[in-house]
Amino acid sequence: MANHLDSFFSALADPTRRAVIVRLVAGPAQVSELHEPHNMALPSFLKHLGKLEAAGIIRSEKIGRIRMVYIEAAPIAEAEEWLKQQRHVWEKRLDRLSALAGNIEKESNDG
């Protein structure tokens, strides 16, 4: 799981790749449509798609002369589950810290 998360978060570290994901949430798209809003050469853009595909976040399929790109839900769900677990851990830690701070404040006011 850790290796999957590493490649997932690494792929999302770039704003161009995040923009592609945002677009694909609305549905599949042709590579040309995904490339259009980005001010970069197509080969550079294809490297971004390659990084997303290597991380398992997207998949592409050639249909005739057109390459369609689809979002993959499983890696996103895996990352979401990991983030939920981390949130739970940190909420418990913050609750303990808050309780400790309350006890220190109470002792300070009592003393």
| pLDDT of 1 higher than 70 | no
Q: Where are the domains of the chain?
A: 2-110
Residues 57-60: contacts with CB within 8 Å, 24+ apart?
57/8, 57/11, 57/12, 57/21, 58/20, 58/21, 58/24, 60/31
pTM of the model: 0.72
Place of tokens 């909420």: 91
The CATH architecture that domain 2-110 belongs to is: Orthogonal Bundle (1.10)
Mean pLDDT, rounded, of the chain: 89
Model confidence at 111, in pLDDT bands (50, 70, 90)? low
| pLDDT of 86 higher than 90 | no
The secondary structure of the chain, three-state, reads CHHHHHHHHHHCCCHHHHHHHHHHHCCCEEHHHHHCCCCCCHHHHHHHHHHHHHCCCEEEEEECCEEEEEECHHHHHHHHHHHHHHHHHHHHHHHHHHHHHHHHHHHHHHC
